[in-house]
Amino acid sequence: MKVLVTGSAGRVGSFVVRQLLEAGHQVRGFDLRSALIDDAGFDEVVGAFDDREAAARACEGIDAVLHLGAFMSWLASDRDRLFQANVEGTRIVAEAAVAAKVGRFVFASSGEVYPENRPEFQPITEDHPKEPLSPYGLTKLLGEELVTFQGRVSSMETVILRFSHTQNADELLDPDSFFSGPRFFLRPKIKQQEAFGNRTAADLLRAADPGRPALVLTRNENGRPFKMHITDTRDMARGVLLALSHPKAAGGVFNLGATDPVDFAEVLPVMADRIGWPLVTVDLPGSGVWYHTSNQRIREALGFEPKWPIMRMLDEAVAAWTTRQS
Ligand code: NAD
C-alpha cells in the first residue's frame, strides 16, 4: 500500500511513518517541515495543507491517507492560523484525496469536540453531544464534518478517530515540553496561565512557588485533583494503523486513547519522588479537568488494546530525565 501521512514530522505522524515503513509500505509524508527520514520507501511533500497544488501532489498515487497533521494552539493570537490549517487545510487535503481516488481517509480528531472539560455524562462515549468549548475543538469538529462529507459524496471510506491527549513517554518529565511543562511543572504553568490572561490562576500558582523548580498538583476550586487521559504515542499509532487497515473501521467514529484516565493525585507524588523535586498543590478557580473517555468501541470493534499505562510511561520518562540531567 502507498500511504500518505500528514503531520509526518510531528509526534504521532513521525512514529506512524516509521511503523508503516517497517511493515513494508510505501509512505509519503506531508508537513510544513521535513520529517528527516532517509528510507527508500519514503518520500515527502513539504508544504501547507491549504496549498491546493501541494495537496494534489501529496495525494497523487496514494491508496490511503492518514490525516494526522494539525496546528494545536489555545492562544487567541493563533486563531486565524488554527482555522486555516485545521479547517481549510483539512477541506483541501480531503478534496485532493477524493480527486486522487484514495480508498480510505483516516482523520485525527480530538476529544475536545465533546468537550471533555464539561461533559454531560461520563465516561464520554462517541454518542456524547458535540459542543466544543475551545476554538481548537471547533476546528476538529468542522474537520470531522468536512471529511465525513467527502466520504458521503464519493467512494472514499472515512474513519474518524477522536484522539485522547497524547505524549511521548520521554516528554512526560520535561519542563520544556509543550504539553508536560505547563501540565506538571509549576513555573511553566505560571507562564502558560499568564499567556492565557488567567491572572488569578497565575497569582495562585506564583504564591505556591517554593523558590526552586517544583512540580505542581493542580486541583479544582473544591480540591478535586485533575484527572484526564494521557496516552502514549505508541498506543495511538497502534490505533491509527487499525483504522487504516481494519475492514470494520470504514465509516466509523472512534474514541482512541488509554483505557483509564490518569489521576493527578496518584501520579504527581510518584513523579516528584522519582526526580527528587518538591511538589506543591494548588487549587485553581473553576471546575477543573476531570474526565473519563470510553475506548470501549474501538476495543470491541477493532481489537485495540493499549499497552502503555502511565506508570509504564513514567519509567521511560525518568530514564529520559536522568539522561537530560547528565
Ligand atoms: P504535532 O504538533 O506533534 O504534529 C503536527 C504536525 O502537523 C507538525 O509536524 C506540524 O508541522 C504539522 N502542521 C501543522 N500545521 C500544518 C499545516 N498547515 N500544513 C502542513 N503541516 C502542518 O501533533 P501530534 O501530537 O502528533 O498530533 C497529531 C494529531 O492528533 C493532530 O491532528 C492533533 O490535532 C491531534 N490530537 C493530538 C493530541 C495530543 O495530545 N497530541 C490530542 C488530541 C488530538
> Locate cell 504564591: which residue?
207
Task: Give the whole-angstrom CA distance, residue 80 versus residue 129.
Answer: 26
Condensed to tens digits (0 to 9), the pLDDT of residues 76-101 reads 999 999 999 999 999 999 999 999 99
Report the pLDDT averaged over residues 70-74.
95
Q: How far, in Å, from the CA of 137 to the mean position of ligand 1?
A: 13
Q: How far, in Å, from the CA of 242 to the mean position of ligand 1?
A: 19
pTM beyond cutoff 0.95: yes
3-state SS class at 23: coil
| Amino acid present at 318 | V
- Per-residue pLDDT band for 313 (boundaries 50, 70, 90) equals very high
195 and 139 in a common domain:
no
Condensed to tens digits (0 to 9), the pLDDT of residues 15-39 reads 999 999 999 999 999 999 999 999 9
175 and 139 in a common domain:
no
Single residue among 136, 163, 190 that ends a domain in this structure: 163
Residue 148 lies in a domain: yes
Residue 250 lies in a domain: no
Parallel/antiparallel/unpaired status of strands 262-263 and 227-228: antiparallel
Residue 47 lies in a domain: yes
Residue 251 lies in a domain: no
- Per-residue confidence (pLDDT) for residue 244, from 0 to 100: 98
3-state SS class at 222: coil
153 and 6 in a common domain:
yes
Condensed to tens digits (0 to 9), the pLDDT of residues 264-283 reads 999 999 999 999 999 999 99
Residue 55 lies in a domain: yes
Cβ(35)–Cβ(44) below 8 Å? yes
Residue 186 lies in a domain: yes
Q: What is the CATH number of the domain that holds 72?
A: 3.40.50.720
173 and 320 in a common domain:
yes
129 and 8 in a common domain:
yes
Quote ipTM for the complex. 0.99
3-state SS class at 254: strand
Task: Give the whole-angstrom CA distance, residue 93 versus residue 108.
Answer: 13
Q: What is the span of the domain harbouring residue 16?
A: 2-163
Q: How far, in Å, from the CA of 84 to the mean position of ligand 1?
A: 13
Q: Output the average pLDDT for the chain.
A: 97
Ligand 1 pocket check for 110: Cβ under 6 Å: yes
Residue from 5, 6, 8, 11 to probe ligand 1 pocket by mutation (most atoms less than 8 Å from CB): 11
Percent residues over pLDDT 90 in the chain: 98
For residue 33, the ligand 1 atom closest to its alpha carbon is 11
109 and 195 in a common domain:
no
Ligand 1 pocket check for 119: Cβ under 6 Å: no
106 and 174 in a common domain:
no
Cβ(105)–Cβ(156) below 8 Å? yes
φ/ψ of 87, rounded to 5, equals -100, -65
65 and 191 in a common domain:
no
- Per-residue confidence (pLDDT) for residue 126, from 0 to 100: 98
- Closest by alpha carbon to 182, among 309, 321, 74, 85? 74
Q: Which residues contact 15 (CB under 8 A, 6 or more apart)?
A: 233, 234, 237
Nearest CA to ligand 1 atom 38: 165
Report the pLDDT averaged over residues 175-184.
94
Q: How far, in Å, from the CA of 70 to the mean position of ligand 1?
A: 4
Residue 56 lies in a domain: yes
Condensed to tens digits (0 to 9), the pLDDT of residues 248-259 reads 999 999 999 999
112 and 11 in a common domain:
yes
191 and 125 in a common domain:
no
- Per-residue pLDDT band for 163 (boundaries 50, 70, 90) equals very high
Report the pLDDT averaged over residues 165-169.
97
Asked, as a colleague might, if the bond just before 269 is cis with ω within 30 of 0, I would say: no
Q: How far, in Å, from the CA of 145 to the mean position of ligand 1?
A: 18
150 and 17 in a common domain:
yes
Nearest CA to ligand 1 atom 30: 108
What are the residues facing 281 on neighbouring strands? Answer: 217
φ/ψ of 221, rounded to 5, equals -65, -15
Q: Which residues contact 9 (CB under 8 A, 6 or more apart)?
A: 29, 31, 32, 33, 34, 35, 36
Single residue among 163, 180, 209 that ends a domain in this structure: 163
For residue 12, the ligand 1 atom closest to its alpha carbon is 26
Task: Give the whole-angstrom CA distance, residue 326 versus residue 323.
Answer: 5
Ligand 1 pocket check for 70: Cβ under 6 Å: yes
Q: Which residues contact 161 (CB under 8 A, 6 or more apart)?
A: 106, 107, 108, 109, 239, 240, 243, 254, 256
> Locate cell 490505533: which residue?
239
Residue 277 lies in a domain: yes
Q: What is the CATH number of the domain that holds 219?
A: 3.90.25.60
91 and 126 in a common domain:
yes
How many domains are contained in the chain?
Answer: 2
Single residue among 146, 163, 180 that ends a domain in this structure: 163
